[in-house]
Amino acid sequence: MMRTRPLKVALLGCGVVGSEVARIMTTHADDLAARIGAPVELAGVAVRRPDRVRAGIDPALVTTDATALVKRGDIDVVIEVIGGIEPARTLITTAFEHGASVVSANKALLAQDGAALHAAAAEQGRDLYYEAAVAGAIPLIRPLRESLAGDKVNRVLGIVNGTTNFILDKMDSTGAGYQEALDEATALGYAEADPTADVEGFDAAAKAAILAGIAFHTRVRLDDVHREGMTEVTAADFASARGMGCTIKLLAICERAVDGASVTARVHPAMIPLSHPLANVRGAYNAVFVESDAAGQLMFYGPGAGGAPTASAVLGDLVAVCRNKLGGAHGFGESAYAALPVSSMGEVVTRYHISLDVADKPGVLAQVATVFAEHGVSIDTVRQQGKDGEASLVVVTHRASDAALQGTVEALRTLDTVRGVASIMRVEGE
């Protein structure tokens, strides 16, 4: 089986992930060769700062000219771990044109331009693999695309951002507020100096787009994903959640409508019951729950980020792409045949947990209940607490369209007796 001419690999980016990829390619060279059926050789490493010391990497391989590297023509596989849209996109398409397949960890690019990249790969007869783009080391894209290829996925519900899970877990376990928990995450290196991409849900939304696309065989772009960050979650929200036997997680949720005719994808904080497996996902771990017709409920759990875990996913893809190359085969390309419409958030059916500050006088509950009824939203439970002329009203609804729920909240805000809407949070996973 083993051939002696090595497959040549170009590595674009040598940061936290890239340096781990290079390290493992060296230390596990014999195993990789045995599993692929040919040795793999690191043929070039493109970096921005060539003067940085890179342990274990032959300085002769290092270049700042990534374009020249992917154009060399003798490269079998390009590993792209630069991130961001450009120059990654152009480098990947150039790699395809010059004979290479690509393994990428680039969620932002895949979420934005996945269809075009898949088309470019198909046109040139190359592979495009990106297990590392979603939930780090957790095998998720391959199971969704291959293991469940004979099943019908109805729902993907996941914690796909480790930074926000660390913050929310900290708030839950210590009673800390958002800022305090974020500061700790930053100090420990779990959050970046500018945490926007994580805490505003952009990172999770990119992953949701990729997962929804694969799960539903439908193109879902980043713009199709409804996104709400978690910066406004308060210690009081966690107290409310606990009162309901819930905790709060930032969830990526991809759903097929009940009638099967459309899909939705969204990212927002939500209450989930403590009995749900996702409620127990601690710290910076990720986990994704998948519900399908035949398999039922599956969960995939593991480290969602970090150099070595992400490198593990990259190298699994490298083995697959190299094996395909040797066997003259191709892996799965884009599968978007179902082409289901992606509905807006208003059509999502969900439940709301709403805290209102209200006047403590007779008739308020009746007024509030009337607003819910007028919008066709059925109330599950109401809890009323009052003192000194002030009162709070906590309403948990039954399932209704998000549009109806939003309309209800807007109408509540106009009531004289409602002094403010203290918090609104969706309830999921029941």
Task: List residues binding its own copies (CB under 8 A).
Answer: 20, 24, 28, 31-32, 34-35, 131, 137-139, 142-143, 146-152, 217, 277, 280, 292-303, 306, 308-309, 311-320, 323-324, 327-330, 332, 335, 337-338
Q: Which residues of 375-402 are buried (b: 16+ CB within 10 A; e: fewer)?
A: bebeeeeeeeeeeeeebbbbbbbeebbb
Of 238 and 285, CB closest to its own copies: 285
Instruction: Tell me how far, at minimum, the Cβ of 305 lies from its own copies, in Å.
Output: 11
- Does 207 participate in catalysis according to the annotation? yes
Report strand pairing: 153-159 vs 246-256: antiparallel
Of 280 and 370, CB closest to its own copies: 280
Of 11 and 425, CB closest to its own copies: 11
Instruction: Tell me how far, at minimum, the Cβ of 306 lies from its own copies, in Å.
Output: 8
DSSP code per residue over 32-56: HHHHHTS-EEEEEEE-S-TTS--TT
Order of strands across the sheet that contains 101-104: 62-63, 40-46, 7-12, 77-80, 101-104, 128-129
Token readout for 121 is 């790969």
- Residue 79: phi and psi, rounded to 5, are -105, 115
Rounded Cα distance, 88 and 85, in Å: 6
Instruction: Tell me how far, at minimum, the Cβ of 299 lies from its own copies, in Å.
Output: 4
Instruction: Tell me how far, at minimum, the Cβ of 332 lies from its own copies, in Å.
Output: 8
Packing angle, helices 307-327 and 29-36, rounded to 10: 40
Of 273 and 306, CB closest to its own copies: 306
Of 156 and 230, CB closest to its own copies: 156
Of 60 and 337, CB closest to its own copies: 337
* 427 closest CA partner among 218, 207, 269: 269
Q: Which residue in the list 107, 170, 207, 325 is annotated as catalytic?
A: 207
Of 113 and 317, CB closest to its own copies: 317
> For tokens 């002329």, what's the residue?
389
Confirm if 213 and 219 have CB atoms less than 8 A apart.
yes
Of 220 and 368, CB closest to its own copies: 220
Rounded Cα distance, 20 and 310, in Å: 9
CA dihedral 173, 199, 133, 271 (to 10 degrees): 50
* 250 closest CA partner among 145, 163, 185: 163
Q: For residue 53, count other CB atoms closer than 10 A to its CB.
A: 6
Instruction: Tell me how far, at minimum, the Cβ of 250 lies from its own copies, in Å.
Output: 20
Instruction: Tell me how far, at minimum, the Cβ of 159 lies from its own copies, in Å.
Output: 13
Rounded Cα distance, 256 and 50, in Å: 47
Identify each DSSP E strand in 333-405 by its residue range.
349-359, 379-387, 390-397, 400-401
Instruction: Tell me how far, at minimum, the Cβ of 258 lies from its own copies, in Å.
Output: 17
Chain CA centroid to CA 63, Å: 32
Instruction: Tell me how far, at minimum, the Cβ of 35 lies from its own copies, in Å.
Output: 5
Residue positions counted in the chain: 430
Active site residues: 207
